[in-house]
Amino acid sequence: MVRCINAAGEMLGVMQTRDAFRMAQEQDLDLVEISPNAEPPVCRIMDLGKYLYSESLKKKQARKQAMVHNRAVKEMKYHSNVEEHDYQTKLGHIREFLENGHKVKITLQFRGRENAHRELGIAVVNRVLKDCDDIGMAEMEPRVMGRSVMAILGVRPAKTSTKKLDEPPVVQ
């Protein structure tokens, strides 16, 4: 005995399995067991191929949505003797990445004699973090790793409005 549901989703009632199977064959559809643990088991008359196809589309859409939330980590490379225009250009790119919801890995590499003055490189990385403080926050503070300094910037969470309701708005 099975509880049967037709293709339109209407309950047909409890019937013999062979009767439900015969009804499905008459409609050129399949009899699919939906809930085997129920008492009696629930079966549905449907097109199994169409159902599996729609499920695969749902899974594909769910993966697409998951990709939107898993933003990439972008990387911006600097050197300790970076010129102001190059610095501002790269800073603009970092701000754009943060506005799009990406994390940004800031890497500063020391070449040759630059290793003798690491404090200059660390100052550049700290300046980047300070200049992006309004839109991003440091997820990983600057760390010296071998011949480079690395830091990771993440998107700053949106601030909630803390204005008091009884204050009149300021007009300028």
**pLDDT (tens digit per residue) in 106-115:** 999 998 888 8
- The class that CATH gives domain 73-155 is alpha beta
The residue extents of the domains of the chain are 2-67, 73-155
Supply the pLDDT for residue 91.
94
Q: Report the alpha-carbon distance of residue 87 to residue 147 in Å, rounded.
A: 20
Q: Reduced to 3 states, what is the DSSP secondary structure of residue 46?
A: strand
Question: Is the pTM here over 0.75, yes or no?
Answer: no
**pLDDT (tens digit per residue) in 133-148:** 999 888 889 998 889 9
Q: Domain 2-67 carries which CATH code?
A: 3.10.20.80
More confident residue, 169 or 29: 29
Q: How confident is the model at residue 172 (pLDDT cuts 50, 70, 90)?
A: low
Provide the β-strand partners of residue 32: 44
**pLDDT (tens digit per residue) in 52-93:** 998 899 999 888 777 656 668 899 999 888 999 999 999 999
**pLDDT (tens digit per residue) in 8-38:** 888 988 999 999 999 999 999 998 888 888 8
Burial of 107: CB neighbours in 10 Å, binned 0-12, 13-18, 19+: middle
Q: Report the alpha-carbon distance of residue 5 to residue 15 in Å, rounded.
A: 11
Token look-up 């480079």 returns 148
